[in-house]
Amino acid sequence: MRALVQRVSEARVTVDGRVTGEIGRGLLVLVCAMQTDSEAQSLWLARKIVNLRIFRDMEGKMNKSLHDVGGATLVVSQFTLAAETKGNRPGFSTAAPPDLARKLYSHFSAQVRSHGISVANGEFGADMKVSLVNDGPVTIWLDTDEH
């Protein structure tokens, strides 16, 4: 699985003008399941994100996790993270098929929630509008194939 993690002071997802997910301080996680992924990758990714120490401590150093700051997550499915860009038109053939991707997206959200973190979600497969205030800015790329 792949994830683009952004530390935010607020983030929101809307579908057709309706808010489907919204958080204050926490992490916006754009997540993509790949063809070869299973629940094992979802579990690893959730644990990694929940424990990332990317929030400031009293000295201003990135040393605190979501738990430490009482942060939430907004999880948004993002198959375009699988983009292959050898040419000018991206290809997405390595992304998981929709049924598997939906299953792993739901599993990932549940795993984050199982760590006691509040989770809001986008709407899988929908045309979503995501707005955020990136705090820092801090943006981190994670790929379970690289751990």
- The domain spanning residue 131 has which CATH number? 3.50.80.10
Note the pLDDT tens digit of each residue in 57-114.
Answer: 999 999 999 999 999 999 999 999 999 999 999 999 999 999 999 999 999 999 999 9
The model carries a pTM of 0.96
Domain count, the chain: 1
Range of the domain at 118: 2-146
Catalytic residue annotation: 78-80
pLDDT at 124 (0 to 100): 96
CA–CA gap between residue 103 and residue 83 (Å, rounded): 20
Given the DSSP bridges, would you call strands 26-32 and 2-15 parallel, antiparallel or unpaired? Answer: antiparallel
